[in-house]
Amino acid sequence: MSEAQLKNLGAERSRSLEEIFEQRIANDQKIEPKDWMPEKYRKTHIRQISQHAHSEIVGMLPEGNWITRAPSLRRKVALLAKVQDEAGHGLYLYSACETLGISRNELYEQLHSGKAKYSSIFNYPTVTWADMGAIGWLVDGAAIINQVPLCNTSYGPYARAMIRVCKEESFHQRQGFEIMMTLCNGTEVQKQMAQDALNRWWWPSLMMLGPTDAESVHTAQSMKWKLKRKTNDELRQQFIDQTVPQADILGLTVPDPDLKWNEETGHYDFGEIDWDEFWQVVKGHGPCNKERMNARVGAWEEGTWVRDAAMAYAEKQQIKKENSAKAV
């Protein structure tokens, strides 16, 4: 075969691979780690899954901040279990990401260098106990809206990880709502604490659903690959429609003077999001960005000697095992 013929054949083969791939996605078949996939699909998934994993890990910090101060043993135990679940979610997601041919250490490196992002919400401080309720109720609530569609996403390992993640997240959300409920049924001071938490977490939670459709650079491609089923704005509307009645049940006021039920559309109309604040936080200049990164990088660097020791020990044990096998 001539070089030109070979080239042709190669192009034909990759075209047909691409066609098979797209056909499979169209048929709702899962893509598995050993299957052929376009490089862009692989990269997009590494970006999204790792960003998700990093969010779980950084997300341990704002809640971990209240473990030692939780007001009752019952709440302390629930909070510990929740943060432990989050670490577990981080683990599944890093594993899912590793099936795409990147190592966990590389992923950490991207997080620590600031190359990879994590959810902007975790750059807000947890200043009172009520924030544990607001995070569960609002932040986990918004996360679920984002994540439930991912249980059906085209990449198998991610979809399977999300099934487990979503189950635990809904449990956390109920727990968060229950904390808010207890505060709202409590004393005047507790109720104020709950209202203050809602005031501080409402807008950042809406921002979790991402920039508006007009600004979102990845939406079109992600919809094609079923990484996304609805646009950011649709998901945000769904979150608001679902959450406002819950605020009513709590007897709390959503901090948006423009929020109003719209009979015609069957949705809530709401006020303008402060996108300058969103971009400021995303670019690394939110209230806690530096502290969160310092905590993560600090833990990693201070832990180096521990990880080195574990490696050295494992090697020694391996050598011992080989030597005793030889002796037999």
Partner 1 sequence: MKTTLYNYILELADNCLIAGQRLGELCGHGPSLETDIACTNISLDLFGQTRSYFQYAADIKGEGATEDSIAFLRYEREYKNVLLVEQPNRDFAYTVARQYLFDVFHLLLLEKLQFSQDMTLSAIAKKSIKEVSYHVRFTGDWIKRLGDGTEESYAKMQAAIDGLWTYTNELFEVTEDAKVLAEEGIAIDVSTLKDAYYEKVTSLLEEATLTVPESNYFQKGGKAGIHTEHMGYLLADMQYMQRAYPNMKW
Footprint of partner 1 (CB under 8 A): 57, 60-61, 64, 67-77, 80-81, 83-84, 87-88, 90-91, 94, 129, 179, 182-183, 185-187, 189-190, 295, 298-300, 302-313, 316
Burial of 304: CB neighbours in 10 Å, binned 0-12, 13-18, 19+: exposed
Q: Which is nearer to partner 1, 190 or 280 (CB)?
A: 190
At 153, phi and psi to the nearest 5? -70, 165
Q: Which is nearer to partner 1, 30 or 104 (CB)?
A: 104
Q: Which is nearer to partner 1, 133 or 141 (CB)?
A: 133
Cβ at position 134, least distance to partner 1 in Å: 15
At 155, phi and psi to the nearest 5? -85, 115
Q: Which is nearer to partner 1, 73 or 327 (CB)?
A: 73
Q: Where are the alpha helices (DSSP H) in 27-139?
A: 39-58, 60-64, 73-98, 104-113, 130-134
Cβ at position 185, least distance to partner 1 in Å: 8
Q: What is the DSSP secondary-structure string of 222-278?
A: HHHTTS-SS-HHHHHHHHHHHHHHHHHHHT---S-TT-EEETTTTEEE-----HHHH
The residue assigned the tokens 């921002």 is 207
The residue assigned the tokens 């600004």 is 215
Q: How far apart are CA 213 and CA 233, in angstroms?
A: 6
Cβ at position 84, least distance to partner 1 in Å: 4
Q: Which is nearer to partner 1, 98 or 256 (CB)?
A: 98
Cβ at position 218, least distance to partner 1 in Å: 27
Cβ at position 146, least distance to partner 1 in Å: 22
Query: What are the b/e assignments for 18-37, b being 16+ CB within 10 Å?
Result: eeebeebbeeeebbeeeeeb
Tell me, rounded to whole angstroms, the distance of Cα 157 from its chain centroid.
16
Q: Which is nearer to partner 1, 182 or 238 (CB)?
A: 182
Cβ at position 149, least distance to partner 1 in Å: 26
